[in-house]
Structure 1
Amino acid sequence: MQATPKTFNIVLIGQNNRLQYESLLFAASLRHSSPDFAGRVFVAVPQPGPLWSQDPSIQNEDILNALRQLDVEILPFDSQLFGESYPYGNKIEALLALPEGEPFVFFDSDTLITGDLNTVPFDFSRPSASLKVEGTWPRPTLYGPGFDGIWRALYQRFSLDFDSSLDTSQPHDYWRRYLYFNAGHFFYSCPRAFGERFRDYAQTIRDEDIPELAGQVLDPWLDQVALPLVIHSLGGGRDALPAGLLDGSVTCHYRLFPLLYARESDHVVEVLETVAAPNRIKKVLKGYDPIRKLVIQRKGHKIRAMFDRENLPQREQVIRNKIKAKGLWMR
């Protein structure tokens, strides 16, 4: 496997909502868990424009100052295709504002760095993305094509070789047979090349009449429908990284703080509470209720005591309902 370049860029999305607090926690966890990381760290921020009814940019000066103290660069970008109607499109359009030709890793803002990122053997010539994914899309209809027909139509639309994308160890028309990722992280050698293709594929899937997609819901799944096509077209795949590092010992995509306390390891909780503790960080994070109550006031440990992490309910909804019943659900 190709050695990791000495430096690569990190990008995540920041916005005038919970993402601004999550991005600060991400940056603090990176500096804590991977102090020798030498690449640039960008928080990409959508700018006001016709696709937003309100200003989406980070306007909280305390957050902006805290990010800068962690050597984070604020990267403004314009929304030209998605904006408020599909905010997941931020991760697509932000790529076009990154330095061209420099390897990058995108992370969702609701991620913590829990280990040394420099130990991950990225081969940036072979893009990939998070395999911490469930079979959320497509949902074949009774009279329509199955998984095979839907995915085959998409590969054919972009003149891609469908058969070479398949995991033939999995059964026909079972979702794991088909290339599918969580868009919580992905990487490649050039953000512009990746971003332009991601944008073009997503726009085509959204706007064109592709008969096999009739009855399929694309919101919020559009980014995860286009992503495997982009990765396959650029020579990547599902086996580009060793298992157990990203979404494992090095990163944690926690999604929501109640779920973090219910499900994640003691080490993840320790990292979260350690990086939120310094006064210069804590006083800023207090502006967001879930962090203030669950992390800073330690009410998350009440959630933690409700679950056996060796024997968690299989369905996330069961976890959510149990937390809600105790009045501790917040997002």
Structure 2
Amino acid sequence: MLLNLPLAGTKGAAAVLANAQTCAVIGLDGYVIQVEVDISPGLPAFNIVGLPDTAVQEAKERVRAALRNSGCEFPLRRITVNLAPADLKKEGPAYDLPIAVCMLLSSGQVDSIPEGAVFLGELALDGSLRHTKGILAMVSVARDQGYTSVFVPTIDADEASLVEDVQVYPVCSLQHLINHLRCEDEITPVSDDLWEGMDDNAGHYEMDLADVRGQEHAKRALEVAAAGFHNLIFNGPPGSGKTLLAKCLPSILPRMAQKEALEVTKIYSVNGVLSPGNPLVLQRPFRSPHYTISNAGLVGGGRTLRPGEITLSHRGVLFLDELPEFNHTALESLRQPLEDKVVTISRVSGSVTYPASFM
């Protein structure tokens, strides 16, 4: 006699192959990733394939704890998670939520997910969703690829709503999302009126050139440099006000247009320095690295090819205080970005191009 036994820990539902969409970020560009979960008979195991890094591999423990603490059952079978395309390296914890959703689908604890939806977010052990960097870049590519809705952590909903023509659903916890998928407690999309009233706060700088008294020749030089976005060098004795005047320079630069603000916000989001309470960068960046900075810290690079200070100062000001103290190699590496307004970083692991239009 042949018996079709139900999957252990799935309330009698048969396991099926499930898939959902998420996104990855390489450089400043996003890529749509398909998450596939297969639950099959065998000894309990949880494997993730598709070039995952350490943070993605650790998603196994986060997803397991989040499912149990959200009132769901974790399947005690052989679980295989595939992140496609398999030749694209996956980094970061943003895959936690789509993996959990696919496991719920495969085990029958959730019937279906909305068509054209993308899931992004890191899970805490109690099932809540944490801040995830790179949301703006990932939502942008989802919109460009034709997806109509994204589910993101509540703390990142305002950042995601900067992208037009896509519905953003703020998710505070895995249980919150499960109730929405079961049509028990639907999530209301956030409004896309974040741009309204933003211009009122764009012109308030902590250091304003209008507050500087004297130094008329230096102030005139700042005005000429700001008008043409020219480079400027200060030379004078200590205490003459060189650093103060340089910090006041962003206050006389033109306000950033919407496109420029989105460019800067995307850079800060990908680099993980965007404040969750301030989802949109409206003021011109002002970066002042110490003279002990390395070449990779100034231009960009490292193991994950992160943006450097010249990219973080895009559309703003890069101030090199005590210029002669900087490493000669680091200063020479500024030659090409100053001319081309972009910097290309090539390593064995890959090549990325970052914007670098600064003064």
TM-score range, shorter chain: under 0.3
TM-score (norm 1): 0.25
TM-score (norm 2): 0.24
